[in-house]
Structure 1
Amino acid sequence: MNTNDRAITALVMVAHGMVHTYELSIPIFVALWLLEFSTIDLGIVTLEVTTATLGVVVTAGYGLFGLGALPGGILVDRLGSRRLITVCLLGMAGSFALLAVAPGVTAITLALVLWGVSASVYHPAGLSLISKGVADRGTGFAYHGIAGNVGIGVGPLVAATSLLFLEWRTVAAVLAVPAVIAALYASRADIDPQAAVDSDSAAGDGGDSKADAGVDSLGEFVAESRTLFAGSFALVFLVVMCSGLFYRGFLTFLPELLGRIEGFDPIPVASLVPEALRSLLGVQASGGETLAPGDYFYSGLLLVGVVGQYVGGKLTDRFPVEYGLAAGFSGLAVLALVFLPAASLGLGPLAVVGVFMGMFLFVVQPLYQATVAEYTPAGTRGLSYGYTYLGVFGVGALGGTVAGVILEYLSEPALFLTLAGFATVGAATGLYLGRKNARP
């Protein structure tokens, strides 16, 4: 990677890590909200707080995280990535500051909505910046994904650990600070966002007349969208929707679900202190704050995704991405079917399945990101990634509602069977794309 490649990669790594730090900290709070709040007062009606209603609340924020990606993608092509990344970071900081003072679930919903709107512009901005500014694109996607997974794993870990000592609103306030610092860095980074496109054009390799054009009007937006979906991008969009539904459906209630499994019972923090020290301090082993093992299993599973992101990114430079998608989704389908049976056998088998789930859950991400770049022109790359994350996080946000409703009214096996269905559709679509558009 050259100097500009490294500068861009560093910028998107910081921003991507922050986005997912906040995103995957939210499920840690969900388990606490289920305990703290009993009703949601909407003025004209009062609702009971259940996994189903909180699933809808979380979907509001996560849904806008995806829905805002489409207008965000259009803005990227017109305003540039750096500006939108900076706005994204500042907006997320504000949302968690609002969360810190939220008195009830209605205010929590507003905070999550603000987070979703702010975070929604990141993926089209960051991925467009890599695809047009980084010459070694596959490696750029890999490191970008690794940073995202560090945020995905470290965010819940920091939140869960902080909650041992601080009230959840205080934890939310503390989490708002790093995004402000990251925004300052993003606004000052020295980068050339068009370096890879300019290089390709000079070499006679890009020749895309729309390399710098973007979308200027509603008519052009409709025309470019029609062109995208008239081809194979429509199938790529189906793949990313399957990824989003599986991702959100599996992760939204995972900490709460793990708490139901034998072996994940809360552990008094005092019991982890040596007996001699407990006697000296006069502390009972069964009293005080408790540690939730499920939260740390959840965080560890997400951290394993670093390996999946790296492997997936490297595979995009070596093998047809369509077949990589088929293999990745096939693995997810199998793992969804064996997750609960493994849990019934004990913590050891569950840990093994959790490691593979963490890897496969994220190995598909750089693969579909690179697939989008393969199937779209550089000039509307922001629009293309906008549609991509409309599918991943917009449509995919419904996975949280689906999971909440299934857990409330059906069963855990029904949830994992549904997840396996999403993955099977993704695998079949990837295989079809590979056969239809065979490349060496």
Structure 2
Amino acid sequence: MDENDRSIAGFTMAGHALVHWFETSIPIFLVVWLAEFDVSVALLGLVVALGYAPFGLGALPGGILADRYGTKRLILYCLAGMSLSFFVLSIAGSIYAIAAGLLLWGIAASVYHPAGLSLISTGVEDRGTVFAWHGIAGNVGIALGPFVAATLLIFLEWQLVAAILAVPGLLAVLYGLTATFDPTAAVEDEVAAGPAEALSVSELLTNSRALFASAFAIVFVIVTFEGLYYRGMLTYLPEILHGLPAMDTLSVPDSLDGIEPADYIYVGLLVVGMAGQYAGGKLTDRISPAGGLAGLFVVLAVLAVAFVPVTSLGLGAIVVLCGVFGFFLFAIQPFYQNAVAVYTPPDTRGLSYGYTYLGEFGLGAASIAIAGFVLEGYSLATFFVLIAGFAAAGAVLSAALAAGLARVLDSKRTREI
């Protein structure tokens, strides 16, 4: 990587880690808030949803803003907004103030993925490597957020913990203000430097129609199926692991009373995911995005089905399967991120990633409701078959894209123009 690549990598890695640092620390506060404000689980769940909903739904306007105002500026606003939201939480005296803080967090966090990935796709020459390190940084935040929050809550009041968690975001803002790089270094011949003019409604609709009349339409659906698989598995896997008889054979020291053995396996899965992110990012330089997606979706489908027999086996088999699953679950992410860069024009890259993460985090979250219904009314095997079906659908679409569907769509679009 050259100096510009390294500067963008450092800036976006800090942003990606902190988005997930804040995101995964929020559930740790739930138990404390239930006792503090004496509210029902249903009401608090609704309040927390106010934070998570904009995280996915705000990705599309975030992508539009990235194209308009520039990616670096938007990421700095994102970091400052997330930190401010946790300071709001630290002084919250009611459930309504908690709701306000979480809503602010969701709005601020929603712009990161379209802005950060757009910056990498237009500013970085060694894109695959930076996608890999960017993904690893996200996994670091995913693992450290709940770990640090839970550890601090053992010793400190939750208000102080929320304030402490906000500090890294402010430090990242200071770091970002000093970072210098060319955000369009990789596409200088394709797009003019600097932010685009503000899009009118008609221009937004025109650009959106152009995107969805191209191969990006297939990429969008592929990413949505990945989001359905990702959200469904990661939301319910901890609960599933907790209920397995094999977990009774794994004990923890008395000093760690209250920590479920399954939690160690789940955190380990996320840590292994860092290796998957790196391997997937490096492979994007050697394998076409569509071909890589097709192969990895097949692996993920097989792994989901494999949970059916393995959950009845011993602890060792479960640990190994979770490790392999964590590796491939995160190895696929650099491939769909790169697919967006390959199948979209540079001057609509922010809009493209906005739609991408609307599919990943917004539409993908539907599997939480779908899979929850299946788990409650049907067998565990049915749940894993459902999840495998999401991956199978992604594999079919990715194989079609690899077989030349993109050329067919682009040829049709050219004839229509």
TM range (shorter): 0.7 to 0.9
> What is the percentage of aligned positions where both structures have the same residue?
54
Does the aligned pair in 1 maintain the 2:19–2:141 contact within 8 Å? yes
Does the aligned pair in 2 maintain the 1:240–1:392 contact within 8 Å? yes
Does residue 330 of structure 1 match 2:320? no
Match of 2:139 among 131, 145, 149: 149
2:8 corresponds to which residue? 8
* Alignment partners' CA distance in 2, 1:337 and 1:168: 40
* Alignment partners' CA distance in 2, 1:165 and 1:343: 36
Does the aligned pair in 2 maintain the 1:37–1:49 contact within 8 Å? no
Structure 1 gap ranges (5+): 41-47, 273-288
TM-fit CA distance, 1:315: 1.4
1:17 corresponds to which residue? 17
2:328 corresponds to which residue? 360
Does residue 400 of structure 1 match 2:376? no
TM-fit CA distance, 1:264: 4.0
Does the aligned pair in 1 maintain the 2:70–2:195 contact within 8 Å? no
* Alignment partners' CA distance in 2, 1:247 and 1:414: 17
What RMSD, in angstroms, separates the aligned Cα atoms of the two structures?
2.9
Does the aligned pair in 2 maintain the 1:74–1:214 contact within 8 Å? no
Deviates more, 1:371-380 or 1:395-404: 395-404
Higher fraction of helix: 2
Deviates more, 1:329-338 or 1:96-105: 96-105
1:82 corresponds to which residue? 72
Structure 1 pair 252–91 and aligned structure 2 pair: CA distance change class (3 A): farther
1:49 corresponds to which residue? 41
Does residue 310 of structure 1 match 2:287? no
* Alignment partners' CA distance in 1, 2:221 and 2:36: 37
Does residue 218 of structure 1 match 2:167? no
| Deviation per residue, 1:350-377 (Å, 9 max, x gap) | 1111111111111111100110011100
| Deviation per residue, 1:89-145 (Å, 9 max, x gap) | 122123333444556766554443322211111011111111111111111211111
* Alignment partners' CA distance in 2, 1:249 and 1:59: 16
TM-fit CA distance, 1:75: 0.8
Map 1:81-230 to 2 at 5 A. 81-100=71-90, 108-166=98-156, 168=158, 170-198=160-188, 201=189, 206=190, 213=196, 216-230=199-213
TM-fit CA distance, 1:305: 0.9
User: Normalized against structure 2, the TM-score is what?
Assistant: 0.87
TM-fit CA distance, 1:57: 5.3
Match of 1:237 among 200, 220, 242: 220
Does residue 436 of structure 1 match 2:404? yes
- SS of residue in 1 equivalent to 2:125: coil
Does the aligned pair in 2 maintain the 1:214–1:379 contact within 8 Å? no
TM-fit CA distance, 1:257: 3.5
* Alignment partners' CA distance in 1, 2:164 and 2:283: 37
1:275 corresponds to which residue? none
2:254 corresponds to which residue? 270
TM-fit CA distance, 1:165: 3.9
2:381 corresponds to which residue? 413
User: Normalized against structure 1, the TM-score is what?
Assistant: 0.83
Structure 2 gap ranges (5+): 408-417
- SS of residue in 2 equivalent to 1:290: coil
2:391 corresponds to which residue? 423
Partner AA of 1:157 in structure 2? F
Structure 1 pair 324–28 and aligned structure 2 pair: CA distance change class (3 A): farther
TM-fit CA distance, 1:34: 10
* Alignment partners' CA distance in 2, 1:77 and 1:333: 36
* Alignment partners' CA distance in 2, 1:413 and 1:58: 30
Deviates more, 1:227-236 or 1:93-102: 93-102
Structure 1 pair 220–271 and aligned structure 2 pair: CA distance change class (3 A): closer
